[in-house]
Amino acid sequence: MPSHAKSSASRHRIIAFGETMALVTPTSNEPLEFAQEFRLDIGGAESNVATHLAALGHETSWVSRVGDDALGRRVTTTIRDRGVDVSLVEVTRDAPTGVYFKDPGVGVLYYRNGSAASTLGPGILDQVPLADAELVHVSGITPALSPSCSALIDAIFERLDQKRTLVSFDVNYRAGLWSVADAAPRLHRLAQQADIVFVGLDEAQTLWGTSTPDEVRALLHAPDRLVVKDSDVGATEYSPDGETFVPALKMEILEAVGAGDAFAAGYLAATLDGLDAAGRLTSGHQRAALVLRSMSDYVADHPTDEGQPS
């Protein structure tokens, strides 16, 4: 593998870890089975967060591994062109870059088994200035990719324990990657170790049987800030300062995939900018709205005032 380029700690103020794949999606909002024209893009939960944060003016870095192939180069170049530092990304000839397909109205199809990113492990941390970062963002997707990826996530939490660096964790349960029986206890333990946690009310119900935001908070009591998202209803933040709810924006939704990543980025940007709870949640909703009105996981424009509280 090539050596990493040297870079200043300031370039790595926010560090996101995770797999990004090539993304194939129909150019129109029609099922994959019948679509005739397609667009090649990229998609990955953690790099989505990084690119949205970069668009909001924050210095971000993405850490991952891609194959030494055309798709890996496309992934890395695209993320770099969206303003994210990619000097910590490794390239391997031993495994390919993963691919997935969007099927509008149905979901996604993944082809990521044995991908380059699934070979990541704790060793990559020797090149990453974790303790110098202000914020590190990870998700529940990574520990499901392979035993070595699971060990990587544990190592990140261990190295940042008692450090000033904030750890942001998006539960991001993916049923196609692991069962509820395997995921529920693992994701619960990871969430309990993070400083900021994002979870959808629907996935919390699937994983842990909780039916209200308050029940989720009772289960995930350790994080300093817990954000429970309830799709088009709104989002609730729990923190030592109390509980704050901000309704979602009312709009026509074109495609929902990626909106959670955009929400997390908007929320985290507002957190770093010093906004209060209502401002953090509002920023999340505004950023998510850009993606909800698009067929892409990433929209470069800054949030507007389009959409009204529902």
For the chain, list the domains and their CATH numbers: 10-309 (3.40.1190.20)
- Give how far Cα 116 sits from Cα of 32, 209, 259, Å: 26, 34, 25
Tokens coding 68: 């030494």
The pLDDT assigned to 300 comes to: 64
Tokens coding 239: 């923190």
Tokens coding 78: 């695209």
Answer whether residue 266 shows pLDDT above 60. Answer: yes
Is this structure's pTM higher than 0.75? yes
DSSP state of 85: B
pLDDT tens for 90-111 read 999 999 999 999 888 787 889 9
Report the Cα 25 to chain-centroid distance in Å.
19
Return the higher-pLDDT residue of 302 and 233. Answer: 233
Question: Is 79 within 8 Å of 50 (Cβ atoms)?
Answer: yes
Answer whether residue 125 shows pLDDT above 50. Answer: yes
Side-chain half-sphere CA neighbours of 253 within 13 A: 16
- Give how far Cα 238 sits from Cα of 7, 55, 106, 222, 297, Å: 36, 27, 32, 11, 27
Question: Is 284 within 8 Å of 264 (Cβ atoms)?
Answer: yes
β-pairing, 14-17 vs 135-139, is parallel
The pLDDT assigned to 169 comes to: 98
Among the listed residues 139, 1, 150, 137, the one whose alpha carbon sits nearest the alpha carbon of residue 72? 1
Catalytic residue set: 261
pLDDT tens for 278-295 read 999 999 999 998 876 555
* DSSP labels, 139-197: ETTGGGT-HHHHHHHHHHHHHHTTSSSEEEEE----TTTS-HHHHHHHHHHHHHH-SEE
DSSP H or E run through 92: strand 90-92
Question: Is 139 within 8 Å of 45 (Cβ atoms)?
Answer: yes
